[in-house]
Amino acid sequence: MAITLSIFTLNCWGIPFLSKDVPTRMNAIGNFLAQSSFDIVCLQEVWSNTDFELLRTKVQQNLPYSHYFHSGVIGSGLCVFSRHPIQDSLFHQWAVNGYVHKIQHGDWFGGKGVGLCRILVNGEHYVNVYTAHLHAEYDRENDEYLAHRVVQAFDTAQFIKLSSSPQDISLVAGDLNTEPGDNAFHIIKHVPGLHDCQDYIKEELMTNEAVGNTYRLLTAPSADASGKRIDYLLFKPPYGVNVSVKEFGYALPNKVEGLEISYSDHEALYAILSVDRTTKADDKRNCERDAVRREALTTAISTCEEALHDLKVQQRRFIYGVVLSAMLLLVVHVLLPRVLPEGNGIAFGISGAVHLILLLAVVFCLFMATIWHRIELNGINAGKLGMQMSLGKQAAAEAPNHQI
């Protein structure tokens, strides 16, 4: 029996105090979804519980089932709304996700990861819905988070691969912060064997820094002429079952009705999929997909190895920072009392401030050279070993006379 599923995804750009027009836009998003006919809605960057409750209240009639993935300090920002009952949920937080001291970026504080909701459609069909928001790319020319994003991509791919059932359809939606030609996207797509809805239409849909978005010049003053595609709707068909993309495109108007603002700095996507269990899919080995998977994993392993080498360099720098800060602290402790006049309140305040700053520098550099170094080292190593295992398994499967 064939079933039809419609899915919607949007990065809502709901950063408290930083994103523009959040209350107005959240209201508009909620009003639109309340009048929609989507079966499943995946949202990212809903950072405020107040915004999530607002959306849940507005869509209660047509999307009565919902789940927010709590994680980290401020929450993952990920939530799912569904027309059909959500049977189970699970959140997998990534081992590496930016740096705690990079407050201006903030990814670490979100405790980012991939969320899974298992949804029962029409009382008999299980659908695994995955939603994720990978670490942002702040500087493409000098991307200090490349290894983190590659490990996140492989972690997500493995999570999808190992938690999805061959008998049920899996849907993946979210802001992956990686473009179609990037290695991280190839890993997410090809390791678990996903299909990209974009491949079923001719026009490429740009989802960030898009022409016509009112926030384009605000968030990306030097944006490319056509924007970029970093938001996706992917799916994994059940084994031996045909899944076709009936529709795929932008889900929202260019601007909120009656206002001169867009719904978000990202564009929303929607897809309508038909799952036909009466038609068998072509299950022949796709050599091209295997080649892309192998190349993606090989490149990712190299990225991890480069990151591990850089970690050693960074650790030495922080150790030098500990030694230098400690020496300066000792010098200041000895010399300042001799230079500054006694009994002077201002002089005492200056001395205390200098001592505090140098002490904090010692503690920070020591933390980064020891505890944080081990956390990042173990996270990247775990990803690298998993990639090597996956690559070795594929190589064994492709051997002419391999033995198990």
What is the length of the chain?
404
Give me the DSSP letters along 65-128. EEEE---TTT----EEEESS-EEEEEEEE-S--S-TT-TTT-TGGGT-EEEEEEEEETTTEEEE
> How far is Cα 33 from Cα 30, in angstroms, rounded to an integer?
5
Q: Are 122 and 3 in contact (CB under 8 A)?
A: yes
Q: Residue 160: which of 183, 187, 180 has the closest Cα?
A: 187
The residue annotated as part of the active site, out of 266, 309, 333, 402, is: 266
Q: Are 128 and 141 in contact (CB under 8 A)?
A: no
For residue 266, indicate whether it is catalytic.
yes
Q: Residue 254: which of 271, 267, 242 has the closest Cα?
A: 267
Give me the DSSP letters along 155-203. HHHHHHHHHS-TTSEEEEEEE----TTSHHHHHHHHTTT-EEGGGGSSS
Around Cβ 121, how many Cβ atoms within 10 Å? 20
Place of tokens 């740009």: 206
Contacts of 9 (CB under 8 A, 6+ apart): 41, 42, 43, 44, 131, 173, 174, 231, 232, 233, 268, 269, 270
Q: Residue 125: which of 162, 90, 163, 84 has the closest Cα?
A: 84
The residue type at 8: F
Active-site residue numbers? 266
